[in-house]
Amino acid sequence: MAGAAGVGGAAALGNVGVAPTAAAATRQVSPSLSVAVLGGGVAGLTAAHELAERGLRVTVYERRALGGKARSMDVPDSAKGGRRPLPGEHGFRFIPGIYHNLPDTMRRIPFPGNPRGVWDNLVAPSEMSFARTGSEDLRIPLPWPGHQPPDLTLDDIRRALTGLLDTALGIPFHETAYFVNRLLVFLTSCDERRDRTWERTPWWEFIRAEEMSYDYQRILAVGLTRNIVATKAEEASTRTVATLLEAFVFNALGRGADGPLDRILDAPTNEAWIDPWVAHLDSLGVEFRVGWTVREVQYASGQVTGVVVENPQGAGESVTADHYISAMPVEHARRTWGQELRAADPQLARCDKLQTDWMTGIQFYLTERAPLLHGHLNCIDSPWSLTAIQQAAHWPDRDFPADYGDGVAVDCVSVDISEWDRPGILYGRTAKQCTRAEVAKEVWAQLKAALNDTGKVVLKDSSLHSWFLDPGVDGLGTPNPTNDDELLIHPVGTFHNRPQAVTRIPNFYLAGDYVSVDIDLATMEGANASARAAVNALLDRSGSPAPRCTITPLFRAPEMEPLRRHDRTRYRLGLPNAFDLG
C-alpha cells in the first residue's frame, strides 16, 4: 500500500529543510500514556501528529491505506521501463485559502529543500472555468500576488469574453440582483438566525431557484452545491452553502486567507504530502497497523475497555490503550458503536441521522496534452455534475511520460463525479446503473459535450490512453452497487446532529469531517480541526501540562459584526433580517 510504503521508504526525510517544530517543547506527557487512533485518514494522522508531538504513545489502526480518501494510489499493472505506476486517486485535492488548520499541519511536515515543509508543495492554479454545453465556456482568472497570468491567444480572449457575456446575459439582471441581496441577508444574519432558520431552509428555497431562469438554477443553485459539497440544492442547508460562499468571497478579497482561493499539490498526493507525513510520524514514534479493521469499540464500567480488531490475517483480537480516538468516516465509525456505548452518550446515536452520498473520482490518461485551462473546470450542464483538472501542468518537477506509466501517457485529467443518480447522455442510465467501462465512456462523452461544443476540439478520442476509476466503487451495473468512500452531505438539519469531539465517555473521542467544528463541511480542514479538538479534550482529561492545539475558525469580517448584532435584536423580536426582501 502506498501509504504504508512511505513509513520505511521516506523515513530518511527526517527534519531536512524545516525549521524546528514545537515537538521538542511540547513533549510533556508521560510516554506511558497510550492512545489508539482508529482510522488513518486526515483526521487520524492529524490526531497522531498532535499527540506524538506532545509525547504520548500512539498506535494508528487503518484497514486499507494511510491517507484515507485523501491518498493517491498506484494504477495496477501500469508501470513499465522502470517508471512508477500511473497515479490514481479517489478525487483531486483542493486546498483553498479559507483553510488554516490543515495548512498549519502541512508546514510542520518536513520535506527536503522546503523551508515550510509540505506546505511549500502547494501551487495555485491561475484560472478556473464554468464549462458550458452549447455555448462558450466562462473562463475566470484567479489573480493573486506573484501569480504568472496564463498565456492567452486572441481566440482565447474572444472565447472568454463571449462566455462572460453569454453567462451574464443568460441570467437576467433582476435575478442577479436578487441573488446578491440573498447573500447580503446571510452575511448580516446573526448566529441564531443562521443556526435555526437558515439551517432549516434549503438553498434552493433560500435563493428562490424554482422561479428563476435555467442559468440561474444551474450556476447559482446546482453548481454551488452539487459540484462543491456533493449535495442537492433542493435539500442542502443554506447555512452550510452560504457559509462556504461567505468564506470564499473574503478569500477572493484577500481577507483572512492562508493563501490563494484555489491551491493544489505539485505532485501526486502521496509523493507531495502523505508519505512524508507518515515518515515524520514514524520518526516521532507513532506505530502503524495497516490492514487492521476495527470491528467494535468495547464499553464497560463507564469507559472504553478495548477495541476488537481484525488483523491482516483475518483473525480477531482485542487491543487496549488508555484513550481512544475514533477517526473513521461516520458511515464506518457508527458500525463499531454498540448499544451500551451509544446509551452512554446520546450524540453517538444521533450520528445515525447523518447522511452520505457518492462523490467519486475517475482519471483519464492522455497520449497528448489537451488544450485545457490552467486550473479547475466545472461542467455546469453535465448530468453527472463533473468537475476536473488537468494535472501534469501543475507538477513542474515531474516529467509525466518519463516518470509514470509506459512512457506513452503524457498527462492525466482527473474528474470528480458528483451526481450518480441522474441519467447520462450516452446510455440514458444513471452512473450506478452503468458498468465501470460504461461509466468511463459516459464521463468522457460528457466532458466532450462540455468542451468540444463550440468548434474547438479539446478532447480527442485518439489521445485517450486509459482510465482508472476509484476501486472503492463496486458492483456497478448490478442492483446493489456499493461505495466504500461516500461523502458526508448536508441536508437541512444536519448541523444539529453533528457530534462534538469530546464524548461523555471519559476515554473516548471523535475526529472526522462529520464532527461539529467551525467549518460546516465535509472537508479535510474539518477533519483536521476535529482531530485537534479531540486531542485538546484528551489533554484536558489527562491533566496534561502540554500546550493545547490551536484551532483557527473561519474568517469573519469585523465590519459585519454591528449588522449581525442588529440582526440578533430583530431575530429575538421575531422580525426578519433588515435586508430580507422576501
Residues 301 and 239 in one domain: no
Q: What is the DSSP letter of 566?
A: H
In 144-279, DSSP assigns E strands to 264-265
Same domain, 299 and 232: no
Q: Does 63 share its domain with 11?
A: yes
> SS3 breakdown of the chain: % helix, strand, coil, rounded to 5?
35, 20, 45
Choose among 389, 413, 421, 418: nearest CA to 486.
Answer: 418
Hunting for cell 479534550 — which residue is that? 537
487 part of a folded domain:
no
Residue 239 domain flag: yes
Lookup: cell for 225:
452545491
Residues 226 and 188 in one domain: yes
Q: Along the 582 residues of the chain, how does pLDDT read in single tens digits?
A: 333 333 333 333 333 333 334 444 444 445 579 999 999 999 999 999 999 999 999 999 999 999 999 999 999 999 999 999 999 999 888 899 999 999 999 999 999 999 999 999 999 998 888 787 877 777 777 766 555 544 545 555 455 444 444 555 578 888 888 888 998 999 999 999 999 999 999 999 999 999 999 888 888 888 777 656 667 788 899 999 999 888 888 888 778 889 888 999 999 999 999 999 999 999 999 999 999 999 999 999 999 999 999 999 999 999 999 999 999 999 999 999 999 999 999 999 999 999 999 999 999 999 999 988 888 898 988 999 999 999 998 999 999 999 999 999 999 999 999 999 999 999 999 999 999 999 999 999 999 999 998 778 899 999 999 999 999 999 999 999 999 999 998 999 999 999 999 999 999 999 999 999 988 888 999 999 999 999 999 999 999 999 999 999 998 888 889 999 999 999 999 999 999 987
What CA–CA distance (Å, rounded) separates 204 from 185?
A: 15
Identify whether residues 275 and 349 lie together within a single domain. Answer: yes
User: Domain range for residue 526?
Assistant: 2-70+267-354+497-542
Evaluate whether residue 319 is within a structural domain: yes
Statement to judge: residues 271 and 347 lie in one domain = yes
Q: CB of 406 within 8 A of CB of 81?
A: yes
Same domain, 226 and 281: no
Residue 565 lies in a domain: yes
Mapped onto helix, strand or coil, the DSSP state of residue 515 is coil
The interaxial angle of helices 42-53 and 275-283, nearest 10 deg, is 30
Decide if 397 is inside a domain: no
| Same domain, residue pair 567 and 529 | no
Q: Closest Cα partner for 129 from 319, 373, 292? A: 373
Same domain as 321, residue 271:
yes
Q: What is the model's pTM?
A: 0.90
Contact 93, 264 (CB under 8 A): yes
Q: How many domains does the chain have?
A: 2
CATH code for the domain in which residue 313 is found: 3.50.50.60
Domain membership flag for residue 547: no
C-alpha cell read off for 191:
448566529
Which uninterrupted H or E stretch holds 50? helix 42-53
Is 202 inside any structural domain? yes
One-letter amino acid for residue 162 of the chain? T
In a domain, 125, yes or no: no
47/551 Cα distance (integer angstroms): 13
Same domain, 568 and 534: no
Cell 483553498, residue? 96
For 480, the grid coordinates are 446493489
> Do 269 and 57 meet the contact criterion of CB atoms below 8 Å apart?
no
Q: How far apart are CA 307 and CA 72, in angstroms?
A: 28
Note whether 511 and 530 are same-domain residues: yes
Same domain, 251 and 318: no
